[in-house]
Structure 1
Amino acid sequence: MKIDFHIHTYHSPDSLMKPARILRIAKRRGLDGIVICDHNTIKGGIEAQKINDDKNFHVIVGAEIATDAGDVTGIFLTEEIESRNFEDVVKEIWAQNGKVILNHPYRRHDLSKIDLSKIDFIEGYNSRLNEEDNQKAIKLANDYGIPIIAGSDAHCYPEIGNSRTVVKDLESLLPLNLEYKKSKQIYVTLSQYAKAFKSRSVRVFISATIVYIKYSARKCIKAIKSAFVR
């Protein structure tokens, strides 16, 4: 069973994706299930679950919560998570018989505030991250004996399914294999433009443009060096 553990919808401030189209694309790309985990809300997951009429395809409702220690995702949720304190968020997830995922642990996280014994899974492969950060996440998971999952962190349709986890079944979610494909930087930029559009923020628009220009410049310099520097 192949699952993409990290997908956003238009219920996130930085995505415009509609659940119905997400479902069609996910199935077309060979997925058996997806986790919809919008920023700080389960609305996208609930919507996707309601319109999913395929008994052989599974929609897991989640939410990526911005805690005081960094992003933590709860899955198998039925109610919104109200707290933003790490310890209390975990308690709310457990109260719903949910599972706790530590997303991209080396991107804007304070690991000193996170009790790793309360983490069910660590996102070892995130399609939006570079190889170095993913390998650090994998090492962290291995050091603490925590199962590793993979997710695309899709905010744009072409990203869906870029990373996926092969699991034994939905009950245990025991990871058997991980598949990873890096997403293109343009989709990261587009999601920031979506955020700028939805929030009417000129600052976010300018920031996204600067980041993309810098990224493009680095790629050009790298290409020139590889072509002419021996």
Structure 2
Amino acid sequence: MTEELIKVDFHCHSDASPDSLVKPAELIATARERGITRMVVTDHNTIRGALRCKELDPELIIVGEEVQTTCSELLASFVTKEVPRDLEPKEAIACLRDQGAFISISHPFDPHRGWQIKDLLAIIDLVDAVEVFNARCYKPEWNLQAMEFAGEHGKPGTVGSDSHSLYEIGGAGLMVPAFETADELRAVIHRGKVEAELASPLVHLGSRYAKWVKSFFPIEES
């Protein structure tokens, strides 16, 4: 008997991120329409948006955070307490570990987003996973390097659309057995299968537009 798998997007943003205009209700409706079973809302340095999303659809949403460290970003799932930005990577990881969060490394080989190999090597034994497919890494070799790095160090992979717009939602996910907690996720993620495709590089223009709109016209989150 074939085991039933669910599709999980480990990386997406709501309007709580400075570079997204996606409202929680729209995010949830679009994810449901496009076959996402679980979605980790990982706004930049806040869980505010994820908590609003979870109130609307607790079965779909996992509270997460994309944490900016002094090097680059960590991607966390099952976050209960917001972690401040600009900590050293090991300090941020310790904060996430203290609350039992599942920790991945965001887009590790995208040269535009900060990680250096020495910094990755310093934390690889402290994290649960590596983001092996980020749909916004517009050169396939960047994700391939992430997959190879994860394999070399015996780490499973997370997959994310890194969506900042409705257009991107549903474009990337990991097919895994169902789970409810961070520990259950740790137990099944090694069996995950990537189901994803790269987004157009033009999606980055949408993020710039969102930042521009918010700089001139502050938007009330809903």
Alignment TM-score, normalising by the size of structure 2: 0.85
Shift of 1:169: 2.4
Instruction: Find the partner of 1:140 among 143, 149, 167.
Output: 149
The answer to whether the 8 A contact 2:9-2:159 is kept is yes
Q: Distance in 2 between matches of 1:167 and 1:69?
A: 30
> Does structure 1 residue 116 correspond to structure 2 residue 119?
no
Q: What does residue 39 of structure 1 align with?
A: 44
The answer on 1:11 being equivalent to 2:20 is no
Aligned partner of 2:60: which letter? Answer: H
Structure 1 or 2: more helix by fraction:
1
Q: Which amino acid aligns with 1:97?
A: G
Q: Which moved more, 1:124-133 or 1:189-198?
A: 189-198
Q: Give the superposition deviation at 1:193.
A: 1.3
Question: Which residue is 2:171 aligned to?
Answer: 162
Aligned length: 198
Q: Secondary structure at the match of 2:192?
A: strand
Q: Deviations over 1:141-189 (max 9, x none)?
A: 0110100121000001010011100111222242421111111222211
Q: Distance in 2 between matches of 1:47 and 1:111?
A: 36
| 1:30 equivalent in structure 2 | 35
- 3-state SS in 2 of match to 1:161: coil
TM-score when normalising by structure 1 = 0.82
Assess if the C-alpha contact under 8 Å between 1:8 and 1:38 holds in 2.
Answer: yes
Give the aligned CA root-mean-square deviation in angstroms.
Answer: 1.5
1:111 CA displacement: 3.2
Asked if 1:197 is matched to 2:213, the reply is yes
CA distance in 1, matches of 2:126, 2:177: 22
Judge conservation of contact 1:2–1:33 (CA < 8 Å) in 2. yes
Distance 1:186 1:31 in 2: 23
Greater Cα radius of gyration, structure 1 or 2: 1
- 8 Å contact kept, 1:69–1:111: no
Question: Which runs of 4 or more aligned residues in structure 1 lie more than 6 Å from their structure 2 counterparts after TM superposition?
Answer: none
CA apart distance, 1:190: 1.0
Identity of aligned residues (%): 30
TM-aligned CA deviation for residue 128 of structure 1 = 0.8
SS at structure 2 position matched to 1:78: coil
Q: Could you give the per-residue CA deviations for residues 33-76 of structure 1, whole angstroms, max 9, x where no partner exists?
A: 100000000111111001116xxx32111110110121001210
